Amino acid sequence: MPPNSNETIFPCPFSKGYGIPAQQAWLLLKVFLGYRLVLAGLFVGLFYSSTNTSLLGTYDSNLFTYSSQSYLILSIISGICVVWRLISYTTQAQLLIFTDILILTLIMHASGGINSGMGVLLAVSIAAGGLLIGGRCAMLFAALASLAVLTEQVVADYTRSFDSTSYANAGMLGAAFFTIALLSYILAKRSEQILQLADQQKRTITKLEDLNKYIIQHLQSGIIITNKQQNIQMANESALRLINLAVLPVNLSDISSHLSLAFQTWLADPEQGLVLLELPDQSQVHSRFTPLPTGNEFFYMIILEDIALYNQQVQQSKLASLGRLTASIAHEIRNPLGAISHAGQLLAENSLLSVQDKRLTQIIQTHSIRVNHIIEDILQLSRRTDSRREQLYLKPWLDNYLENFTLEHSVNRDAFRLSYPAESVCVLIDPGHLRQIMDNLCRNALRHGKPEAGPIILQVFFVQQTPCIAIIDNGAGISSEQQLHLFEPFFTTSSSGTGLGLYISKELAELNQAKLNYYLTDDKRSCFRLCLLNAEQTLIDL
């Protein structure tokens, strides 16, 4: 038998799937107790009444007295237990039916046996058993009642208590008990099937609700539900992440006054349904408004989308077209460049050249090599592949990366220092792209960051639950004017640089929905910060 719960009670041990709603069960039990109290009161009252002309207790007044008084006392005690719920429902209901069968059979015998008509009251008890307990237990109660009536007739016949006995009446009464019990069982079986179907539908609905909740909570797009008064009803995890809040705000104005004003404008003019939201951390979020009618109230849905998603799509399209263009241009430049470089080498081998002429051939070779490096960097753009993001744990990955980087560039491992948070950090990015970004940033730090003044720090930390890697060097920093053009292609402050390293790094970061930016630390040290997708926050990319 399934355990009882606050919603459903399973009272019959022989019908494990049959349950009764708890509230309905306790109400039926109270009604039946009320009937018992009235019946017991009538037995006692009519028996002691001076106007009693009935057959109550005509055969054995003492037996009737003890039985009716016991019936009344047990009913009162049961009423107290039901009101205060001192005993479980199943135990109380079963005791009530068993005591009904026993006591009413004794009262029937004390009043003259089956011919007194008192046996009809047992039919009420059998029907009550079918309602209160139900299942196969209803047939058990019918069998007990029939056996009690038949036993009473056998005892009366054996002791010759009455002038006549009627086994036929006892049989018909038993048949009536079983008929009532059978009807109760059929109704109970039907109720059981309906309850099982309802329970199955409830589980299905619960699964669908959980699935819908999971999908909404893990969408990459942020979802905010609000009413006309701008009171926020619900927001998913992505929305909180995009607006950089840890708890659900109360009003739209708590997120941004710009968003609140845009929502009011959209209510007045539904054509103004798009807005670019500028957040305090300088990130940009696209916002769209749409009505969300329900049965009783009218809500509105605000969809927030990280502009990085748009940048990724634009980036893929841009790189595809740029790759085709740069591949053809680089191919056309490389052929004459090779001829110039080869001619310069042959010219430098001429022993008749003066010192000045040899210096000119060295200039030709130097700039040929530089142009060739530019072509190599441009060709990297044409070879760019789509991002194949994987889950990476930063601590082991960075440890392995630094070992390989310092070995390849013949750098002392002490030139770098790693700093991790206490908790494990797992990110979502293409490992090849991350390696290329880190190569560019670490080479720049070695070249311009004065590693002789102290180690270059690779620090892993969180910004609003977003994992970030900071590369902090000891350089003098970049001026505010230069920062405006820092990630532009071919912008460089070095005479030997191509100006494509940071541009490619920025492009790769956006391709992986990451953010790469530059700032000065509090102690005026240069810092490049790469903020990545948190792999612990599972997102559904639609």
The neighbour count for residue 268, using CB atoms within 10 Å, is: 7
pLDDT at 444 over 80: yes
pLDDT at 5 over 60: no
More confident residue, 438 or 160: 438
Q: Please report which confidence band the pLDDT of residue 370 belongs to, taking 50, 70 and 90 as the band edges.
A: confident
Nearest alpha-carbon partner for 373 in 501, 491, 486: 501
Q: Please report which confidence band the pLDDT of residue 377 belongs to, taking 50, 70 and 90 as the band edges.
A: low
3-state helix, strand, coil in the chain (%, to 5): 55, 15, 30
> Would you state the structure tokens that stand for residue 137, as one six-digit string?
């237990």
> In the predicted model, what is the mean pLDDT of residues 486-494?
71
> In the predicted model, what is the mean pLDDT of residues 489-494?
68
The number of CA neighbours under 13 Å toward the Cβ of 302 is 34
> In the predicted model, what is the mean pLDDT of residues 54-71?
86
* Best mean pLDDT range from 119-128, 246-255, 306-315, 350-359: 119-128
How far CA 2 is from CA of 9, 12, 18, 55, 276, in Å, comes to: 9, 10, 9, 46, 56
pLDDT reported for residue 96: 93
Q: With beta carbons less than 8 A apart as the criterion, state whether 67 and 131 touch.
A: no
Q: Please report which confidence band the pLDDT of residue 412 belongs to, taking 50, 70 and 90 as the band edges.
A: confident
pLDDT reported for residue 280: 62
pLDDT reported for residue 319: 61
Least confident of 33-37, 162-166, 497-501: 497-501
> Would you state the structure tokens that stand for residue 161, as one six-digit string?
């208590």
pLDDT reported for residue 421: 87
Please give the full DSSP string across 359-410, using - where no structure is assigned: HHHHHHHHHHHHHHHHHHHHHHHHT------EEEEHHHHHHHHHHHHHHHTT
Q: Going by DSSP bridges, is the β-strand pair 456-463/416-419 parallel, antiparallel, or unpaired?
A: parallel
pLDDT at 536 over 90: no
Alpha-carbon span 465 to 509, nearest angstrom: 18
More confident residue, 9 or 273: 9
Alpha-carbon span 531 to 529, nearest angstrom: 6
pLDDT at 17 over 80: no
pLDDT at 478 over 70: yes
> In the predicted model, what is the mean pLDDT of residues 390-401?
91
pLDDT reported for residue 31: 93
Using the CB atoms, write b or e for 78-115: b if 16+ within 10 Å: bbebbeeeeeebbebbbebbebbbbbbbbbbbbbbbbb
> Would you state the structure tokens that stand for residue 233, as one six-digit string?
């009803």
Nearest alpha-carbon partner for 300 in 221, 231, 220, 213: 231
Q: List, for residues 170-218, the tens digit of each pLDDT value.
A: 888 889 999 988 887 787 677 767 877 888 898 999 898 888 887 777 7
One-letter amino acid for residue 312 of the chain? Q
Strand order in the sheet with 456-463: 416-419, 456-463, 466-472, 526-531, 515-520
pLDDT reported for residue 12: 86
Q: With beta carbons less than 8 A apart as the criterion, state whether 277 and 304 touch.
A: yes
pLDDT reported for residue 504: 82
> In the predicted model, what is the mean pLDDT of residues 299-307?
83
> In the predicted model, what is the mean pLDDT of residues 340-346?
81
pLDDT reported for residue 281: 58
pLDDT reported for residue 94: 92
> In the predicted model, what is the mean pLDDT of residues 61-69?
91
Percent of the chain with pLDDT over 70: 87
Least confident of 94-103, 111-120, 160-169, 394-403: 160-169
Percent of the chain with pLDDT over 90: 19
Length of the chain: 542
Residue ranges of alpha helices (H) inside 85-115 are 89-110
Alpha-carbon span 240 to 254, nearest angstrom: 12
> In the predicted model, what is the mean pLDDT of residues 221-242?
85
pLDDT reported for residue 157: 83
Q: List, for residues 119-178, the tens digit of each pLDDT value.
A: 889 999 998 888 888 878 888 999 999 999 999 888 888 888 776 677 888 888 889 999
Alpha-carbon span 195 to 13, nearest angstrom: 17
**Quick one: how far is CA 156 from the chain centroid?**
70
Residues 6 or more apart whose CB falls under 8 angstroms from that of 476 comprise 526
DSSP helix/strand/coil, 414: helix
* Best mean pLDDT range from 155-159, 344-348, 497-501: 155-159
Using the CB atoms, write b or e for 330-353: b if 16+ within 10 Å: beeeeeebeeebeebeeeeeeeee
Residues 6 or more apart whose CB falls under 8 angstroms from that of 429 comprise 387, 389, 390, 392, 512, 514, 532, 533
> Would you state the structure tokens that stand for residue 34, as one six-digit string?
């009320």
How far CA 436 is from CA of 63, 331, 403, in Å, comes to: 101, 23, 15
Q: What is the mean pLDDT of the chain?
A: 82
pLDDT reported for residue 37: 94
How far CA 245 is from CA of 218, 224, 281, 374, in Å, comes to: 16, 13, 12, 43
Q: Which residue carries 């102690």 as its tokens?
A: 523
pLDDT reported for residue 538: 56
Helix axes 120-132, 167-217, angle to 10 degrees: 20
**Quick one: how far is CA 438 from the chain centroid?**
35
Q: With beta carbons less than 8 A apart as the criterion, state whether 451 and 441 touch.
A: no
